[in-house]
Amino acid sequence: MSCSRSSCARISSPSSGAAPPADSSGARSLAHPSTPAAASLVDDQLAPFVSRAAADLLVMNYNPVMSRGGLILLERKPSVVHGRRQCWWPVWDRQPPDICVYDPMTGGQAFLPFPPDIKRATYVLLTAADGMVGGSFLLIAFDAWRLGDLLPLRVQTVSSDANGKWAPVEYSYHPDLPKG
């Protein structure tokens, strides 16, 4: 499907279910995925449900990290400016959110900062489908890069009803290693 600026007002055609390709002006499509899994997520799952404005903000400024129970975890893309993560954000006096838990069916978005005590986090997203009570999600962050060390695993959590505030760091010890 090729399109001009006037004919690509919607995210996808009903028959294709895919984001529109770049037009002759060289503009990029809504999604420029780097892996087949990301392409499938964006084209088949995300694009049919989000508005153009939401797609521009989320897909162009955030990378999909994982999905579970109908929710998608997105992480802000790093910028090339000083190696810091930056993106367009409508509130100029604040830094844009680092993480977004997005519900493509309802359009609901929960914006969160990175976990403050874990620098290189690996995430686990739990939802109501996992038996959670008291919120729509629980996000667990841990420092998987330290798994080979004899150090305890550091873990932080945030839930949908915590107003974006991460819980204090917890330590998990391997049962075969001495604590301390």
Summarised one tens digit per residue, pLDDT across range 71-111 is 999 988 765 444 444 444 454 445 567 899 988 888 888 98
Whether residue 166 is predicted with pLDDT greater than 90 in this model: the reply is yes
Q: Where are the domains of the chain?
A: 26-113, 115-180
Nearest to 100 by CA among 72, 77, 127: 72
The answer to whether the beta carbons of residues 31 and 43 sit under 8 Å apart is yes
Check residue 27 and give its pLDDT. Answer: 41
The Cα 45–Cα 23 span in angstroms is: 23
Whether residue 147 is predicted with pLDDT greater than 60 in this model: the reply is yes
Strands ordered across the beta sheet of 137-142: 122-127, 137-142, 153-159, 170-172
Nearest to 140 by CA among 65, 86, 61, 38: 65
The answer to whether the beta carbons of residues 17 and 43 sit under 8 Å apart is yes
pTM: 0.61
Strands 122-127 and 170-172: unpaired
Gyration radius (Cα) of the chain, Å: 19
Question: DSSP code of 103?
Answer: -
